[in-house]
Structure 1
Amino acid sequence: MTLPTFRFAPSPNGELHLGHAYSAMLNHAMAKANGGRMLLRIEDIDTTRCTSALEAGIYEDLRWLGMSWEEPVRRQSDHFADYEQALSRLIDEELVYPAFMSRGEIRAFIADSEGSGRDWPRDPDGVPLYPALDRTLGLKERGRRVADGAPFAWRLDVRAAMARIDPSLTWCEYSDENLVQMSLVDAQPQAWGDVIVARREIPTSYHLSVVVDDALQGVSHVVRGMDLYFATGIQRLLQDLLGLPQLRYFHHRLVPGPDGRKLSKSQKDTGLTALRKAGVTPLDVRRLVGLEVTGAPVPP
């Protein structure tokens, strides 16, 4: 029998805060309650912002919270070859294309369109969809631009991708922290448009690396914040395209800051290290995030 396998996957581009603590401890508690595996993964494909010092801080914070995990820890920056292999498959099957529009060109094109009275479509996060003008470029022109060193990103051709799979794509979503009630959610990956799956200088993206990692690590249950709920749709699409296993998901509530907004590294919200130095205990952290897990066993 395959053990339920959970993972906590932070990025070392800032200090962990209470929201991370809740997600980490929730995963750890579920794994322990169900006799499952607990994995830690360091998602550091952004090699310019992620640092070894911040990674060391993650280990220190998690151990302070009383967490343990299987070794070795998977560090994404050590496994670019795995993502490049997946990307090559998508390229060979003509499911991605090199997208050459810069951010400035994208903004200008969308502004011109909206100035003409057209409402430009946006993804579930409110970001305008990529115009995809270069999706129709001929192979010769694409090759010429790449050979000339034009910067580009590999974008998923969602229309072509949806034509390859069952259009009624869904994922299994639990409705509570004890993983008792489960329902099927309509994935709707097309709501994201042609998302980036890799860049010229880095052969992956968050979406691509996370589905490859989960499959290679044998993850069965993904427990993460509601801010990634809709992103599951594009990840389910990539799983099907790459022939990877379907997982079960629970997207937990977010821990708000004092002003009611989502906690964020970019906003320099108080980190766990500062709380620890201020005398806050791990038990205090559990109370602050309202963590309570009854330990009902998850289905195999």
Structure 2
Amino acid sequence: MAGKVSFVLCLPKLTASPHGSRVPICAVDKHDRVMLVAVGRPDDPSYVADAERMAELMMEMGQSTDWDKSEKQHNRGAYACAHYGWSYGKGQPQPQRLGGERRKMMREFVNQPCTQRIAAFQSASFALWFPKSYAEFHSRNSQLKEKIPTFDGNIKGSVYACCTANCTNTWTYIHRDGMNSAGACCSITSGGKFDPKKGGQLIIWDMKLIFDFPPGSTILLPSALFRHSNIPVQKGDKRVSFTQYTAGGIHRWLEYGGRTEDEFAAQDPEGFEQMLKERPERWHKVLDMFSTISELKAGVV
């Protein structure tokens, strides 16, 4: 789908890490659309300290929590993870906040200033590199608030509706995150104590790309579109990660008029039939959500 991939270096305001490039790296397709960005991190010691503190909190949660087997072994890998935020699916009549026994732990985690700073940076990076998707997310959040008055976002300063803390030594299997919004990027921030030249790299299999992924750095990835995985860190090292995303089902629920697909079909048969006719061409809309380098330079949204 992405076509020919090349590297483009631009906006030299960020640094990937002391080990890597001092500018973001983006992968573009043959039409110059930006499909992925290795953002890096702000060149700010206080941000580095906050990123390290957030990683320490995740590692502490990983060690102190009595994880269930299902939380430690899943289709993304063999590591413990916990989720927090709004989801939609599995027969739910409307989007709702995730529950479960990890909710209190995760609420305390996302309310930490260090977590909120990294989450806000992820969201701001999303707005900078993928302004069309960001604008849609912002609009959908407003619509969701109108439909569900209890919707209160997820993390202060972030447009994303959900997040995951990967709390024990994290390396992922080859996978796609098919439930995430297809025309948008999730934000991934790596953390821990490891040598990024000897492990932890992010592989984008469909693009045939490997990115160094140092602690504290962020990558924006359309995880529903491209198969991706991590290389394990070397023995003795520790790696965790923090991701933000929004379930595509939330946006579909809103497109259906704040109702399930079955309700849409029953209450508006003509509108539902038209939606089905348009569905095979929706991939054009997905591609249009990715800006070209020229559009970004010109500030076109």
Normalising by structure 2, we get a TM-score of: 0.28
Q: Which has the larger radius of gyration?
A: 1
Of structures 1 and 2, the one scoring higher in RCO (CA 8 A, sep 6+) is 1
* Structure with the bigger percentage of helix: 1
